[in-house]
Structure 1
């Protein structure tokens, strides 16, 4: 592969390439393979960076371990992420009194793994005026909904600017080390801040950042759209995703619907007329029903072709019927989805089934159904909700816990490469591939045996034709070692190189 000024200019046999480009700098790969770089279509850079540089609770196997981790943390502000009480033997979260006992008076904010609820120390609650009277308040347990937004905003404001920027830099370095050349930052007024997003967009020495602002009101920043985490509902783990029928393990609640069909339609119409990409966070089936109705109302106002031209996007899309997928596919909707959600919480014994019952809990994240309905798939991690590990995400999409819901390896890889570029409006037909004329955006991987076409039809191995978008496929079988990134290149510029 020959590259000039950041563009691929030739792909073919080695001897021909050396003849055509006799003065080229030659990089020998010694058995490593090259593939288009990944795009992560849904990240939260600062929160993920704070997890990388601070208190990571994802490894806590019990309530006691979580409290021990807080006790060992330093500083007037303790920001942690990743607890999941569904995996703890105690089966519950710490009380506020237990948290205060180990916090030693510090301001403590600990987000649940889905970031839709959090534990807060009394010192933080006392600073978050209005939290105690807001929807989602709990005297002794996790805070959700508006109460959670109150304490999170206060905790975010307490983060020193340099600590926040250091977290962003750490995240971007981490992303590049995983073969990721572009990320879609899903920011918003209840998630981060305009200053936070401005700092991230100003960082140019790592992966390309595509900014989204999850609000109905514009922000004075170069964002790609008013999309991302503009909430229609919440999350299943925190029991805030809006459901048609109550939660199986909490029959007293059906979650929270934050926007109805009329509000959804109004935002779609406004963005379509302004030439912007709109989008929403939606997970529960009641939330999805509101979204589909909202698209129908918007189409009646501006026309289906105008809607489809903007490629409006939906984040997560976990509970959806075949009919709803077909209707959204007709409107050109992008499904920004996270395969690791199924790997972490799917199946008959996972958190989804615990919250919803087995019948509903094993129907989530139907990637094959979305693709067959014509929805464009763009894969992401929603980090720090799940780890940023693109090859693991591709494997999770192939080996879906619900038979019939997974994708072929080729489709899964495409969703994590070209799909991300197309979701952000780059639809030239070549970006995200390895062919002449495409941007030289790729990663070099050290892996074991590459499997060529014909060796296993069940897994649908890829050929070694680089024009197909990827030159080979490592084993995606469960338990197999995944490739290790040696180098990540964005538009001909190396943004990561392993020592």
Structure 2
């Protein structure tokens, strides 16, 4: 049995501490002077040691393709975005052009990309450029031609700006064209980036409209084959379509994740109870009938499997909770609570819905960076919803105060892998009173991910018997000081299951 001693570290706000790790778990912690011997020693030199971060919502392949390819998040205009596409496509004149991150809401041209913009710079090559929320995209004519029947699907537009089912179909075609070597390199890039940021676990939110089962299996095999961040896999497909078979075959954590019950505010596809302010002809879209959600929840609950649902707008949240209520009535509250079903994003939610989440033991898997990017009186939320409705989005404090389990994630590549940034965004919410207390935010970004995956240690992540997933930071400050200063210390060393990941920095 291999052992590791991490000595002379500050744990929380207590300096001069040490943690002894045996067989991948914490075996002892206390004063450094009293530490037992170990096979290996990592001298912290007084640096801060914390639980490793958990990013509770990630798309590893798409994130890696963004990290290694075409990312349009910084494009400040339509002209700049087109120029970036041209610069990216020129050196490699074959294959599908893949990109993500463009956001037209602040562009001076007052419109987003069209297929004519893309055709002018990519010619006859297929191209897929996802909007920043990845719930709509602009594609080239060549890619449209590869998807039979695309013109008959909901969300199709002849200008190449696709939403809803048309977008899901074309995204499958685009990412299905990525060769295995490029896919593996992208996944490796994501895991390496996560490790460098002190992220010890990522929750991979896979599904047939996001990535294939083969893609997910490859990621799980990659993570299992070498020391690095853990990958907790989810598959978002209804039971009536065979989703539970994939969950069982791959040994996944749950039958959910990005099971898209609606879309996103930015693409006007999140399902609202009243119309969008800037497009009053639409209130978004619900993708499933409630009966299908009930059937899925019933199957998961009977099997004691965790279900999960992507739901952003209030109509989508209420639809999912109506399905949960039906299963509670049928199978009992305790049977539902033990499954700890998840809601992903859950951005627009009423007080009554929050109480239901608490009563039924559900998890709010949230992305504070969404509020940082799009919240506030002049942000995208206010443009889409109006200032009053926007101010009620992402009520993080209400979740915690009500006793709802909260886990923080990035939804990368929608927002970057940035755990400290997510913690600080959760604290500094754009709506006064909606932010988290500093230690609640840090707990949601670390322990919250274990709770969300039904894998937490009863005494917490820094206790005897807990998995030894730790991060050593290049700062001598206490955790309280780091949080107060909104600092972003560099990860000196990541430890996952007692293994030192990479070279110390």
Q: TM-score, normalised by structure 1?
A: 0.92
Q: Secondary structure at the match of 2:261?
A: coil
Contact conserved, 2:438 with 2:483, CA < 8 A, in 1? no
Residue 328 of structure 1 corresponds to: 357
User: 1:361 aligned to 390, 394, 397, which one?
Assistant: 390
Following the alignment from structure 2 to structure 1, what is the Cα–Cα distance between the partners of residues 26 and 397?
32
Residue 100 of structure 1 corresponds to: 119
Q: Does 1:59 align with 2:74?
A: yes
User: 1:151 aligned to 170, 179, 182, which one?
Assistant: 170
Following the alignment from structure 1 to structure 2, what is the Cα–Cα distance between the partners of residues 51 and 286?
31
Following the alignment from structure 2 to structure 1, what is the Cα–Cα distance between the partners of residues 277 and 99?
29
After TM superposition, list the pairs within 5 Å mapping 1:80-229 onto structure 2: 80-203=99-222, 204=224, 205=226, 206-216=228-238, 217=242, 218=244, 219=246, 220-229=249-258
Cα distance per residue 1:110-156 (max 9 Å; x no partner): 01111000010000000011211110011115201011111111111
Residue 440 of structure 1 corresponds to: 468
Q: Secondary structure at the match of 1:489?
A: strand
User: CA offset at residue 24 of structure 1?
Assistant: 5.2
Cα distance per residue 1:253-300 (max 9 Å; x no partner): 110111233222221111101221111100001111211211111111
Residue 268 of structure 1 corresponds to: 297
After TM superposition, list the pairs within 5 Å mapping 1:238-257 onto structure 2: 238-257=267-286
Following the alignment from structure 1 to structure 2, what is the Cα–Cα distance between the partners of residues 188 and 419?
23
User: 2:482 aligned to 462, 474, 486, which one?
Assistant: 474
After TM superposition, list the pairs within 5 Å mapping 1:326-405 onto structure 2: 326-405=355-434
User: 2:54 aligned to 27, 36, 39, which one?
Assistant: 39
Q: Does 1:236 align with 2:242?
A: no
Cα distance per residue 1:198-256 (max 9 Å; x no partner): 10010122211111000012213221111101111110000000011111111111101
Contact conserved, 2:457 with 2:466, CA < 8 A, in 1? no
Contact conserved, 1:49 with 1:167, CA < 8 A, in 2? yes
Contact conserved, 2:52 with 2:494, CA < 8 A, in 1? yes
Q: TM-score, normalised by structure 2?
A: 0.91
Q: Does 1:30 align with 2:38?
A: no
Contact conserved, 1:32 with 1:444, CA < 8 A, in 2? yes
Following the alignment from structure 2 to structure 1, what is the Cα–Cα distance between the partners of residues 183 and 108?
34
User: CA offset at residue 60 of structure 1?
Assistant: 0.9
Q: Does 1:303 align with 2:332?
A: yes
Structure 1 residues 47 and 415, CA, compared in 2 at 3 Å: closer, same or farther?
Answer: same
Following the alignment from structure 2 to structure 1, what is the Cα–Cα distance between the partners of residues 98 and 176?
12
Contact conserved, 2:25 with 2:465, CA < 8 A, in 1? yes
Q: May I ask how many residue pairs the two structures share in their alignment?
A: 473
- Over the aligned positions, Cα root-mean-square deviation in angstroms equals 1.5
Structure 1 residues 13 and 321, CA, compared in 2 at 3 Å: closer, same or farther?
Answer: same
User: CA offset at residue 301 of structure 1?
Assistant: 1.0
Contact conserved, 2:47 with 2:474, CA < 8 A, in 1? yes
Residue 450 of structure 1 corresponds to: 478
Contact conserved, 1:381 with 1:388, CA < 8 A, in 2? yes
Contact conserved, 1:330 with 1:374, CA < 8 A, in 2? no
User: CA offset at residue 42 of structure 1?
Assistant: 0.6
User: CA offset at residue 5 of structure 1?
Assistant: 2.6
Following the alignment from structure 1 to structure 2, what is the Cα–Cα distance between the partners of residues 54 and 77?
12
Residue 11 of structure 1 corresponds to: 29
- Structure 1 regions of 5+ residues with no counterpart? 452-460, 462-472
Following the alignment from structure 1 to structure 2, what is the Cα–Cα distance between the partners of residues 259 and 369?
28
Following the alignment from structure 1 to structure 2, what is the Cα–Cα distance between the partners of residues 391 and 174?
14
User: CA offset at residue 346 of structure 1?
Assistant: 0.7
Contact conserved, 1:448 with 1:474, CA < 8 A, in 2? no
Contact conserved, 1:447 with 1:482, CA < 8 A, in 2? no
Following the alignment from structure 1 to structure 2, what is the Cα–Cα distance between the partners of residues 399 and 194?
38
Following the alignment from structure 1 to structure 2, what is the Cα–Cα distance between the partners of residues 157 and 336?
28
User: CA offset at residue 13 of structure 1?
Assistant: 1.7
After TM superposition, list the pairs within 5 Å mapping 1:274-313 onto structure 2: 274-313=303-342
Following the alignment from structure 1 to structure 2, what is the Cα–Cα distance between the partners of residues 78 and 144?
19
Contact conserved, 1:116 with 1:238, CA < 8 A, in 2? yes
Contact conserved, 1:346 with 1:362, CA < 8 A, in 2? yes
Residue 8 of structure 2 corresponds to: none
Following the alignment from structure 2 to structure 1, what is the Cα–Cα distance between the partners of residues 41 and 210?
45
User: CA offset at residue 104 of structure 1?
Assistant: 2.3
Following the alignment from structure 1 to structure 2, what is the Cα–Cα distance between the partners of residues 481 and 426?
29
Contact conserved, 2:63 with 2:190, CA < 8 A, in 1? yes
Structure 1 residues 138 and 402, CA, compared in 2 at 3 Å: closer, same or farther?
Answer: same
Structure 1 residues 195 and 409, CA, compared in 2 at 3 Å: closer, same or farther?
Answer: same
